Structure 1
Amino acid sequence: MRASRLAVSLVAAASLATPTAVATSASAAPPSSPSCDPTRTTPAYRGKVPSPKQVLGVELGDREVTAAESDRYLDAVAASSERVVSGTLATTAQGRPLKYAIVGRPELLTRAGLARVREDAAKLRDPKTPAKLAEQIAKRGVPILWVSGNVHGNEPSGTDAALKVLRDLGDRTDCAARTILDNALVIVLPTQNPDGRTLNTRQNAYGFDMNRDWFARTQPEVDGKLTMLNQYPPALYIDAHEMGGTSFFFPPNADPIYHETPEQAIGWINDIYGAAMAAEFTRQGIDYFNRDTYDLFYQGYGDTVPISGFLAAGMTYEKGDESPYPERVKEHYLTQWVSLSQAALNRHRILTEWHQMAVDAYQQGVAGKLEPNQIYNPPNQIDRQVPDRLVRTYFLRADDPAKGPEVRTIVRRLQRMGVRVDRLVRPLTVPDFKPYGRAETRTTLPAGTYSISMAQGQKHWIQAMLNEDSYTPFPYFYDVTAWSMPLLQNVAGGSSGALLRPATEPVPPLPSETPGHAGNAPKIGILQLSATSSGARQSTGWLRSRLDREWKLPYTLLSPADVASGKLAGVRVLVVPNGPAEAADKALGDAGRTALTTFVQDGGRYVGWQGGAQLAARLGITTDTFADPTSDVPGSLFRVRVDGRSPLARGVGDTAWQFYSYDPVIRQSDPAKVAVGYPDASSADWFVSGYEQGSAELGGTAAVTDEPVGKGRTVLFGGEPNFRAFSDGTAKLLYNALLGPDPKAGVSGLATARPRAVANTPLQVESPIRVSVKVGDADRTVAILRSVGAHYVERRSGDVVHYVIDNPGGLPADHHPFAGRLPSLIRQAGITPVAVVLP
């Protein structure tokens, strides 16, 4: 299930085991008869593959298999069937393997056979492959179909279902199994998150929701998976989840759908797979829904990235976790088997359209045409259309040495997804250059600038990654609305729609970079504000991942109880990520509060953000004031100004891009203490990438403050500087806050801690649900909220009423008792919301 909005690239080498050679023929078998029903054909087993009970002592679905048992059964199937080879594509933080199996006709599983499948896929994805050759491949070739489960560790049933699919394809002889085997190559990845499965947590061991990490690849599990996906690019990617309730979700998806989503892929999703599933579930009397809750917008999901990055049908399947476990496994197996069967039966259409999508993307890139926003589920209406400005080329400037690692991170990520990146060998005058967040201007770009042409088969992926804005079409948000890589990395660049003839040379594949920290470092402590809050676990986990894997800085992890018992001794820099400030304040008690204030006054450095910043206000170690926002910003990027005199500014530049999502508004009366601030909303610097309503209230407020307290120092960020460990631009501000020098003398601060400022605290809510409507719709909205039993706080600003619904368990929307239903209820009531934001 999808969930919380809150989730320099670490590249882990993928260990791809060499498949075992098992046969020699490479001829394609003819398609099986479409009269063979995929689900009503009686399974016939050869008996070569041991049953799950023979290997594990239980049948699949009797109970959840463990990660180790999943690996054991996968290995047993691979060892006993000539139709299966297996390997390991990554290793987790806790040392567990991510095992996969490749299933197909024996002749496809030889080295030569697999090489032929990969070669065919590469040619079909190449828009310059001649049409006749592409048609020949479509006639004889096979699509690559992926079945994956358990990206969320506490959503286990997809794993057991995938293992059942593996067993059936490895051993069955009936026509339903032969249809798939004769017409496809299937890759089964039973668990994408073995650490989370073992820990029974949604996230991995570092607290990452890996269904948000697909484009950044910060986690080895995701990086290894994408490495293999690029070797075996999918035409179908199944991602099996669980949600609340007892129903089943399969596509068609809800709006919004990202504009660079090819129509052929939508056709596959809705008309091939969705239609077949609806018919089968209806025939069997199984409850299901679609066109609701689950969108295709944020370009970091396990369905959106396969679409925009591989031109596949990305399919999210969700089964209600209140159903008995055998039922969950059975229904996931049904969707997986029906999907594979439909792909096999439509093999020629899929391969033909797969190539055509690449050709269409290339032609759009040549013309500089961006796809428009569309509504797929009336009566939704488009609030914001994609501009009609032409975009033929993106540019990334490389003339600032301080930004070199960030620029190369983007280039490498693009290259690893099959994007061609060139470099200017001579200066280039661009008549209509549009810098990110600025107006068009005539510009001469220096030699060395990276040039990314949109005239590629990967045009959709280029736009998804290098966009200036996501152009959110209407106000429903399952996740964040901004993710542009240049903005997240805070690098200079822009786009042009002109027909240019630059002198360029191709950029060879760039190596990974993990520089770490050079020199001595102070002793760092991390105060995790709560062990149970999802926000605290994630924010702390994102920080730990960056410190361990990129900056390579040692630290001590502390709890409020640890601080109260004196374990802060020796720490020089205390980092306090997001979390519930009020609960942490209570957990600290008098002893912990005294320890923290004494720590700062005696020379310690307190660096906090979000809940960690609010805790500083409660402790009286800041003169900042905090207020609840009255705007609706579900997760967007704002340009902020950086004070070049601040030690936080080193290597950052005059501006940066701050990720902001309903964070408290910080006001600081002393401009000298504002290291980073939001420009006035009327200034030329004001720019927002993503959705916003009423965000002008941030104009002129502080994004980061830095002030002396006694002999020490307090550095506070309003928003998350290390969002999902991929906002590298503001993470550099954080790096400087941890390791940089103190500000120069001249800024007056607090001689001693102020009295406790408990009144100076915004609303304390965990992973809230937010609904904002116009005043005229307030009564109907209240009626809906009361009908579902929502406990809410009402805030009014101008002609908008904001309802903030507490979610004390931190439940994601589709495990929440009513959150997932709110958009439909609001729509059915005839209300056009300002924003509906689900956790």
Structure 2
Amino acid sequence: MTIKKLFTVSALATALMLAPATMAAPYSDTPDTQRQMWPGATYKQSIPSVKDVLGYNTGDRITSHPDMLRYFEALAEAAPNQVKLVKYAQTWEGRDLIYVAIGSPEHIANLDAFSENMNRLADPRETSKADAKKLIQSTPSSVWLEHSVHGNEISSTDAAMMTAYHLLAAQNDPLVNKVMDNTLVFIDPLQNPDGRSRFIANYYSMVGLEDSADRLSVDQNEPWPRGRSNHYLFDMNRDWLAITQPETAGRIDALNHYKPTIVIDLHEMGGDSSYFFVPSASPINPHMQKAQLDNNDLIGRNNAKHFDRFGFDYFTREVYDAFYPGYGDSWPTFYGASAATYEVASTRGMAYRTTDGHVALFREPVQKHFVASMATLETAADNREKILGDFYQYSVNAIDMGKKDDERTFIIPATTDRAGSHRLATLMAQHGVEVTQASEAFKACGNRYSEGAYIIDTAQPRGRFVKTTFTQQVDMSADFIKEQERRRGRKLRDQIYDVTAWSLPLLFNIETVSCDDGLSVKGSLVAADDKLKGNVENADASVAYIVPWGDAAAGRFLTAALREGIHLKSADEAFTLDDKRAFPAGSLIIEVKANDGDIQQRIEGIAADTGALVTGVDTSWVVDGPSFGSRGTPRMVAPKIAMAWDSPTSSLSAGSTRFILERQFNYPVTAIRSDMLASRNLNHYQVIILPSGFYQGALGERGAANLKSWVNQGGVLITLGSATAFVAGSEAGLLDASMEYALNQDGMSPDETADHRGHVDGSLIKDKSHLIQRIENEKRSPDYVAGALANVEVDQEHWLTAGVNPNVVSMVVGNDIYAPIKLDAGKNLAWFKGGDELLASGYLWKENQKQMAYKPYLMYQPSGNGMVISFTQDPSSRAFMDGLNVMMLNAVFRGAAHATPYR
């Protein structure tokens, strides 16, 4: 007995040290016959199965990134003439991203020719209809399957391995044979290795004696920040527009290379759902073509046929729309593909108990994604020529529509925001759009433009993408909007899935001009990797170097100079030197004598690295504005920045804010646990950022008091979006501002305070609308806004807005609206415009638009030796509002320069 007990304990200890699959497997002991993903299939022994390589059957364990790589490498080794494995990017944490091309030996041998032919089909300017017809007859269709862009949506990676195995190993399968003869299959098995690795590490570190299906168990509830996002906590399914992450950039480059005709993005949704595939829900982006939507209908119908055969439930035309062009399933439509999202009910682990008591096993969503993938491949094979023909016709139509469009040509003038214009132009080139930079002055659209302007003609294959990303307003259908207003009137939740606006020129705060002109201007095509060129005028200046403030290049120069220990100042106001040269507010001043003797070489090096323009001056005599020695030109300091990290901070806001500072401006940020703000000594930091989040419960009065003491001693506290609610109001006492309730409707109901018997005064309800008014809460928040772009006016006479344009645009999400801060407490330095000027793009409820008018966007309140700077909306959202970066940099660096901590 004693010996047996000792052995049992030893065995358990050994199990804890072994792979997690040996620890807990109550749902993994079913016979092999029940594990078959495709009943009746027989497989070649020459192709290794998942069990052969990894030691477990498909669906019996959540496969890690290294094991996924190992398996696909094994397939490539076993079938080198049918598999090509390509590394296309690397994550921030150093994990490789791969895709595999699978096809017949002939198709794989001619993969380069396939890419060339698809790019010929994508450009009817170079390929006639007759040549296109020949290409269509000889070119295979192609399907790109994208898996696990959200790292905690775990089943599709294992489904990807099953799909690859089935295609290579299935014997005498008519569907597989048809696919291999007619179609090239591209499988991206894991789009987010960093997030998945985070999920798996947490899941298997928490699992006990058996996997728990209980939705309250730790197995089913991930800690912050969860595995959905990548290293910088980006939801990469929203990153296809701004392309900020290396994973996204690599995928876009690969898709532009092959231009597959069908692209499927495989996701997971709530565990109590079933399965979603196309047709999509409304609204549909109006710049998509009918043939693409018709092909999606073909795909959906064939999926339904197979799901009926397997007895799988599914739904279509609900929840998941096709409006925003920055998803993995919508971006490919704008080079001509038919693309779609698939969503399967998630187990978020090995098992999940649904509300009806069913215990769903991990292998179930794996199998459903596998079956849907095979059904889609069959559709591609059966409709090869139609889909290729529609692909070619998409570009024909795009060019024809561009020639007839009132906004045929978009021009980005050579403006003072060189960095923003350059970033926008190269971003469009990265998307695959043809962008020309003029090498001479030219006249167009009724104006004259100087050399350096960028020109985009929509009469090109990517013209529809230009239209949907450059046009100020892309409308949802009138019927859809009418239905949302009806639902809102009934106090039902609206059906708007995501943002309703995304105009890139507005997000970048870049002026563009459009007209129906077709231009022929001397210039050169912009490449995605073109570097912004910096320059130092009068490099051997004897007095100072001045960097005009107001764009990202100047921001990068500032952070580089601070990190190198260069002594520099910044002017609070615009100034003019004795030689009549004028410089804007915020301009950086680097005095020669205040720095080491090699300052010229250092300035030239930083200018070259950052793209900044620098002017050397031989006098400090200022005839207008603050002198170099004035209190209006404070010294810039290199602040130590802390950022709240961990619950209750929004992981998306924290990640994007940190990314902007660290990766776009190369300045380090220290992430600290949010709860430490309540009690720890914070004097090591000059700036603390609270990203969006709900801090009241986590920090409370103790946290507010600790932060207030730190601010009074000279700290700069910056709040973004919903974090402003914590510092606002009397409870925290950090910001003398209050959030507003929704507008009241005066006199709509009698006094409904119950008497001692529980009765209220009698009343009359005249009609249904009056009933709705009567049941409305008198004190409620404004209706939630999914995401629109709003115009913001900026105070031009404060150091915190130096270099910021008088008018900027911000994304508006949620329902936070603040009353203006009083003058005796602080200042409202940016506010939403009023009336018809407020909405820049998208859709806002009319009540929100009315109430938001002239309400603050940026508030500033001095306190002791420090200050609180609050944004009522999050300027870091998705890191795609480049036009707000100068405002953010001012808050961090100019705020630190104007604080007066005890030194």
User: Shorter-chain TM-score: which interval?
Assistant: 0.7 to 0.9
**Greater CA deviation, 172-181 or 296-305?**
172-181
2:829 corresponding residue in structure 1: 675
1:410-421 to structure 2, matched below 5 A, reads 410-421=424-435
2:147 corresponding residue in structure 1: 149
1:619 corresponding residue in structure 2: 732
2:458 corresponding residue in structure 1: 454
Amino acid at match of 2:421: V
Asked if 2 retains the 8 angstrom alpha-carbon contact of 1:424 and 1:502, the reply is no
Can you list the C-alpha shifts for 1:729-786, whole angstroms capped at 9, x where unaligned? 11221111101257999xxx9x9xxxxxxxxxxxxxxxxxxxxxxxxxxxxxxxxxxx
Match of 1:484 among 486, 491, 503: 503
Amino acid at match of 1:462: V
1:503 corresponding residue in structure 2: 521
Match of 2:311 among 265, 285, 302: 285
Q: Distance in 2 between matches of 1:526 and 1:578?
A: 15
2:240 corresponding residue in structure 1: 214
Amino acid at match of 2:843: Y
Asked if 2 retains the 8 angstrom alpha-carbon contact of 1:399 and 1:448, the reply is no
Q: Which has the larger radius of gyration?
A: 2
Match of 1:562 among 676, 695, 698: 676
Q: Distance in 1 between matches of 2:661 and 2:284?
A: 35
Amino acid at match of 2:144: W
Q: Distance in 2 between matches of 1:631 and 1:40?
A: 48
Amino acid at match of 1:710: G
1:24-103 to structure 2, matched below 5 A, reads 43-81=41-79, 82-103=81-102
Do structure 1's residue 518 and structure 2's residue 560 form an aligned pair? yes
Using a 3 Å threshold, how does the CA distance of structure 1 residues 208 and 744 change in structure 2: closer, same or farther?
Answer: closer
Shift of 1:320: 1.1
Q: Distance in 1 between matches of 2:142 and 2:240?
A: 19
Which structure exhibits the higher relative contact order, with contacts defined as CA atoms closer than 8 Å and separated by 6 or more residues?
Answer: 1
1:195-206 to structure 2, matched below 5 A, reads 195-200=194-199, 201-206=227-232
Can you list the C-alpha shifts for 1:487-508, whole angstroms capped at 9, x where unaligned? 1111111321x33445342333
Do structure 1's residue 330 and structure 2's residue 367 form an aligned pair? yes
1:663-742 to structure 2, matched below 5 A, reads 663-666=815-818, 667-670=820-823, 673-681=827-835, 685-694=837-846, 695-740=849-894
Q: Distance in 2 between matches of 1:631 and 1:329?
A: 38
1:394 corresponding residue in structure 2: 410
Q: Distance in 2 between matches of 1:609 and 1:325?
A: 38
Shift of 1:477: 1.0
Do structure 1's residue 250 and structure 2's residue 277 form an aligned pair? yes
1:463 corresponding residue in structure 2: 467
Structure 1 ranges of 4+ moved more than 6 A: 742-745
Amino acid at match of 1:701: K
Q: Distance in 1 between matches of 2:668 and 2:519?
A: 49
TM-score, normalised with respect to structure 2:
0.70
Shift of 1:673: 1.4
1:605 corresponding residue in structure 2: 716
1:437 corresponding residue in structure 2: none
Gaps of 5+ in 2: 1-36, 200-226, 347-351, 353-359, 485-494, 532-551, 563-636, 743-781
Shift of 1:107: 3.0
Shift of 1:581: 2.8
Using a 3 Å threshold, how does the CA distance of structure 1 residues 501 and 627 change in structure 2: closer, same or farther?
Answer: same
**Greater CA deviation, 597-606 or 561-570?**
561-570
Shift of 1:689: 0.6
Can you list the C-alpha shifts for 1:603-625, whole angstroms capped at 9, x where unaligned? 11111122322222243122222
Amino acid at match of 2:340: M
Amino acid at match of 2:254: M
Q: Distance in 2 between matches of 1:40 and 1:411?
A: 48
Using a 3 Å threshold, how does the CA distance of structure 1 residues 743 and 63 change in structure 2: closer, same or farther?
Answer: closer
1:318 corresponding residue in structure 2: 343
2:34 corresponding residue in structure 1: none
- Secondary structure of the equivalent of 1:636? strand
Amino acid at match of 1:415: A
Can you list the C-alpha shifts for 1:613-648, whole angstroms capped at 9, x where unaligned? 222224312222222453553211111112222233
Match of 1:340 among 373, 377, 391: 377
Shift of 1:571: 0.6
Asked if 2 retains the 8 angstrom alpha-carbon contact of 1:195 and 1:205, the reply is yes
Can you list the C-alpha shifts for 1:503-551, whole angstroms capped at 9, x where unaligned? 342333142669642222533333427x344x62111111122222111
Q: Distance in 2 between matches of 1:655 and 1:462?
A: 24
Q: Distance in 1 between matches of 2:140 and 2:681?
A: 60
Amino acid at match of 1:84: V
Shift of 1:251: 0.8
1:351 corresponding residue in structure 2: 388
Shift of 1:398: 2.1
TM-score, normalised with respect to structure 1:
0.76
Shift of 1:427: 4.5
- Secondary structure of the equivalent of 1:163? helix
1:193 corresponding residue in structure 2: 192
Q: Distance in 1 between matches of 2:895 and 2:651?
A: 29
- Secondary structure of the equivalent of 2:256? helix
1:359-370 to structure 2, matched below 5 A, reads 359-368=396-405
Q: Distance in 1 between matches of 2:421 and 2:513?
A: 13
Asked if 2 retains the 8 angstrom alpha-carbon contact of 1:148 and 1:238, the reply is yes
- Secondary structure of the equivalent of 2:176? helix
Using a 3 Å threshold, how does the CA distance of structure 1 residues 707 and 537 change in structure 2: closer, same or farther?
Answer: same
Amino acid at match of 1:528: A
**Greater CA deviation, 312-321 or 517-526?**
517-526
- Secondary structure of the equivalent of 2:410? strand
Asked if 2 retains the 8 angstrom alpha-carbon contact of 1:150 and 1:156, the reply is yes
Amino acid at match of 1:486: P
- Secondary structure of the equivalent of 1:625? coil
Do structure 1's residue 164 and structure 2's residue 154 form an aligned pair? no
**Greater CA deviation, 614-623 or 62-71?**
614-623
Q: Distance in 2 between matches of 1:446 and 1:157?
A: 54
Do structure 1's residue 638 and structure 2's residue 636 form an aligned pair? no
- Secondary structure of the equivalent of 2:785? coil
CA RMSD of aligned residues (A): 2.4
